[in-house]
């Protein structure tokens, strides 16, 4: 006759719980860092446009620079704000009255409808803006 021993085996799920905790931490940090990257102020501030290429370039003093950006969908931005053509005209008029030597930089996507660019250039000429630069990427 065999006598059964009193040996009991302790089955533990500690490794499964630890793996679950590590996996949840990984997911938490992955989502946190991706949100930090997405909503980073330097990234949000930049308007992404594909500028046309040019052979020559000059640098401009950033302090007296006014940016007008036109995306490939035809959306017009004054600095970082979406504006209509009427609002753009009012803002440029105020800016030009306050600082007539300010340099206006037109950043138009290379795929934008040329009619939009011409209408902005026409409006700037009408307002008497003489310091105008068109942004491009050096070849």
Give 75-129 pLDDT, tens digit per residue.
Answer: 899 988 889 999 999 999 998 888 888 889 898 888 888 899 999 999 999 998 8
The CA–CA distances, whole Å, from 49 to 20, 66, 95, 121 equal 43, 16, 24, 18
Dihedral, 122, 124, 125, 126 alpha carbons, nearest 10: 90
Q: Higher-confidence residue: 8 or 137?
A: 137
**Whole-number Å distance between alpha carbons of 87 and 77:** 10
Q: State the chain's mean pLDDT as an integer.
A: 81
DSSP letter, residue 28: H
**Domains identified in the chain and CATH numbers:** 49-138 (3.30.420.270)
Q: What is the pTM of this model?
A: 0.62
CA distances from 40 to 29, 44, 62, 81 (A): 16, 6, 22, 17
State residue 100's pLDDT score.
Answer: 84
The residues, any chain, with a CB within 8 Å of residue 1's CB and separated by 6 or more, are none
Give the pLDDT of residue 122: 93
pLDDT score for 44: 46
- What does the pLDDT read at residue 87? 93
Which pLDDT does position 6 carry in this prediction? 67
pLDDT at 47: 65
Residue 76: how many CA atoms within 13 Å on its side-chain side?
22
- pLDDT digit string (tens) for 54-73? 777 777 666 678 889 998 88
């Amino acid at each position: 006759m065999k006598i059964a021993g009193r040996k009991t085996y302790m089955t533990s799920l500690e490794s499964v719980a630890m793996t679950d905790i590590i996996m949840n931490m990984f997911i938490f940090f992955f989502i946190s860092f991706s949100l930090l990257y997405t909503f980073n102020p330097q990234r949000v501030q930049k308007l992404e446009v594909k500028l046309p290429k040019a052979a020559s370039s000059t640098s401009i003093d950033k302090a007296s620079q006014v940016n007008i950006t036109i995306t490939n969908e035809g959306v017009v931005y004054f600095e970082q704000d979406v504006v209509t053509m009427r609002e753009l005209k009012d803002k440029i008029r105020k800016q030009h009255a306050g600082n007539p030597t300010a340099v206006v930089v037109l950043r138009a996507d290379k795929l934008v409808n040329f009619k939009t660019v011409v209408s902005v250039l026409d409006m700037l000429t009408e307002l008497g803006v003489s310091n105008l630069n068109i942004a491009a990427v050096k070849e």
